[in-house]
Chains A and B, each alone.
Chain A
Amino acid sequence: MFSLLGSSGCGKTTFLRILAGFEKPSSGKIFIDGVDITGIPVFKRPVNMMFQSYAIFPHLNVFDNIAFGLKQDKLAKSLINDKVREITGLVNLSGLEHRFPGQLSGGQKQRVALARCLVKQPKLLLLDEPMAALDKSLRELTQFELVNIQERIGVTFVMVTHDQGEAMTMSSRMAVMEEGKIRQIGTPHDIYEFPNSKYVAEFIGKVNFFEGIVLEHQLDQVLIESSEIGCVCNATHAGTVPVGTRVIYAVRPEKIMISTLRPAYPRNWVKGTIKEIAYLGNISTYYVRIASGKTVIATLPNLLRLDDRNFQWEDEVYLFWRAENSMVLAT
């Protein structure tokens, strides 16, 4: 399962449509299993696409919708019946074969659209915002269902989404796109923990940015001086950025710890005042104003049920984090 993630209008769907053959690439070639399919027309590609609107044929019932693609291949009727029966079982549509699209719920329509593609046994299955038309509770259920189906049949799924939670839940690998270009490809973990640019770090999850200058390289880490933080910070996994370069030093809110006691270690902490607290149930988000005037976001899990809140508004606190939990990004 591969996801394309990006803000709307960044070219995700266009890319999908190029893969399917609805659009022609202005340059470049498309290979599937080493075979160039760039010139192959849409109806001959071993690629199937599930549309955002599902695009179920309104004049055909569930069975005929699913069998549509097989009939185009001129398969024997008994073979079509077998394949359709198998796939309806797989996507949990058994018993609904004679319903018409008007009599189906959103989730059922989605499964018809999926079955219609899967039954063709494509080399690549494209999904354009597969969950967009479903309500929230159904969406979470369907996410795992889709992954399960994918694992059972082993077809590569390429999914387009703008929902980062969805992309991270479902994909084994994902790509973040910006203005038609892929910014980073990797596992959800790679992308979240090791973003290669400010854009990616900001797009996936929340993050605190500080301006800084590289001071010194030490063994496996770099020292960065940040006037915004007011102290020297260190970071691992920073690569080989030349000394003196302006960089962005970034820490994710959940990686920041809060204490009323001043940390003993001289680096990686900053003093500030709590300005806002957002209680979200499972976590609380603290907005802390630091000396340079910047607001730093930190989240803490609410581990205890009883309300013995350690921190209150206007409390003076120390924010600190571990060197390996910080990121160094190009400006």
Chain B
Amino acid sequence: MSLEELPGIPKILKTIKGSMLYKSMKNMKFFLALLPLAWLFLFFIIPVMVILKISFANAVFGIPPFSEIFKWSANNIIEITLNIQNYITIMSDSYYAHAFVNSVTLSFITTVTCAAFGFVMAYGIRCTREGLRTPLLLLVSLSFWTSFLIRVYSWINMLSAHGIVNNFLIKIGLIDEPIHFIGNYCMVCIGLIFCYLPLMIFPIYSALDKVDRSCIESAWNLGCSISRTFWTLIVPISINGLKTGCLMVGTASLAEFVIPELLGGAGSVTFGRILWTEFFNNLDWPMTCALSIAMISVFVIPLFLCKDREIEGE
């Protein structure tokens, strides 16, 4: 999850805008807002600026592996050399577009599936008796306690050509040749859903937790049948949890590198893998940066605008 989506940040930004600045400086509000702002500036704005700068440089051999775009010349003139070749390549080469579409599709399928499963699971946990909820939630978070890599790797262990499942199927005589589970988009999807489902369950659960029992009862009392209550009351009230969950799962799965790398095989090209290749294999820092900037502009900026409009709508 990126920093600007942290709860409250857009609101704080709005609070300190304009004349509010002076007012809030009088009390502690301003200083309270200053802390997250400073953090945001230091660890988000500055790095993005650096990435933006590098994305316009030329790739060179050496340390650092990119050219300087600002140059002082003799007559107190600053020369700025902007190389927009990387952006042109990204736009024109269908390879990137292809990876981009793949990532978006994978992320979309993962988010929708997680939302469906996550809602059902969160609702199920919410419906159990009180003493059972905390253990169930702990069980959900249990998978987070093991290393992410190990969790993904265990799928390989189970589903590879000589994995548990294939061995078992061969042993009972159902198949003669091992099935190739690993190495396709379907497997990547399964891995993504498996790993990110908890990220969906928790926000939905906490939203559902706020749905008052007496609210549900009064909906029944006002003539709403049990199934209709679900759609007209429970889903709308918990919609914010669902949104948060989708945002978290969507963002995390979009930039995912490990899962496609391990479970997707050579054929599955995703954005995260391209970034890896450009950065570590081709040592092309400017290209990597340009890709990152492209990604940010496509996803984060619209999200930001969306959120702002929501706040104004309140």
A contact residues vs B (CB 8 Å cutoff): 20-22, 42-44, 47-49, 51-53, 55-59, 68-69, 72-73, 116-117, 120
- Chain A contacts of B222 at CB under 8 A? 43, 48, 68-69, 72, 116-117, 120
Task: Say whether B218 contacts A55, CB under 8 Å.
Answer: yes
Question: Given the complex of chains A and B, what is the CA–CA distance between A53 and B218 in angstroms?
Answer: 11
Task: Say whether B223 contacts A69, CB under 8 Å.
Answer: yes
Task: Say whether A59 contacts B237, CB under 8 Å.
Answer: yes
- Chain A contacts of B214 at CB under 8 A? 51-53, 55
Question: Given the complex of chains A and B, what is the CA–CA distance between A117 and B221 in angstroms?
Answer: 9
- Chain B contacts of A43 at CB under 8 A? 220-226
- Chain B contacts of A59 at CB under 8 A? 236-237, 239
Check if B37 is an interface residue, CB within 8 A of chain A: no
Identity of the chain B residue whose Cβ is nearest the Cβ of A46 in the assembled complex: B223
Interface size class of B (residues with CB under 8 A): 20 to 34
Main secondary structure of the interface of B (DSSP, over half): helix
- Chain A contacts of B308 at CB under 8 A? none
Question: Given the complex of chains A and B, what is the CA–CA distance between A117 and B219 in angstroms?
Answer: 11
Question: Given the complex of chains A and B, what is the CA–CA distance between A47 and B226 in angstroms?
Answer: 17
A-contact bits for B187-228, CB 8 A (1 contact / 0 none): 000000000000000000000001010110111111111101
Best-surrounded residue of B212, B221, B228, B232 (most CB of chain A within 10 A): B221
Question: Given the complex of chains A and B, what is the CA–CA distance between A57 and B235 in angstroms?
Answer: 12
- Chain B contacts of A44 at CB under 8 A? 223
Best-surrounded residue of A20, A42, A56 (most CB of chain B within 10 A): A42
Contact of A53 among B212, B228, B232, B237 (CB under 8 A): B212
Task: Say whether B217 contacts A72, CB under 8 Å.
Answer: no
- Chain A contacts of B220 at CB under 8 A? 22, 42-43
Identity of the chain A residue whose Cβ is nearest the Cβ of B224 in the assembled complex: A72
Check if B25 is an interface residue, CB within 8 A of chain A: no
Identity of the chain B residue whose Cβ is nearest the Cβ of A116 in the assembled complex: B222
Check if B233 is an interface residue, CB within 8 A of chain A: yes
Question: Given the complex of chains A and B, what is the CA–CA distance between A22 and B217 in angstroms?
Answer: 8
Task: Say whether A55 contacts B237, CB under 8 Å.
Answer: no
Offer 6 A-B interface pairs, CB within 8 angstroms, sorted by A: A20-B221, A42-B217, A51-B218, A53-B214, A57-B215, A69-B223
Task: Say whether A55 contacts B223, CB under 8 Å.
Answer: no
Beta-carbon contacts under 8 Å, B138-154 to A: none
Question: Given the complex of chains A and B, what is the CA–CA distance between A18 and B219 in angstroms?
Answer: 16
Task: Say whether B225 contacts A55, CB under 8 Å.
Answer: no
- Chain B contacts of A69 at CB under 8 A? 222-224
With contacts A22-B217, A51-B217 taken as known, whether A57 is within 8 angstroms of B223 at the C-beta atoms is: no
Identity of the chain B residue whose Cβ is nearest the Cβ of A126 in the assembled complex: B221
Task: Say whether B221 contacts A57, CB under 8 Å.
Answer: no
**Minimal beta-carbon separation of A270 from chain B (angstroms):** 52
- Chain B contacts of A116 at CB under 8 A? 218, 222
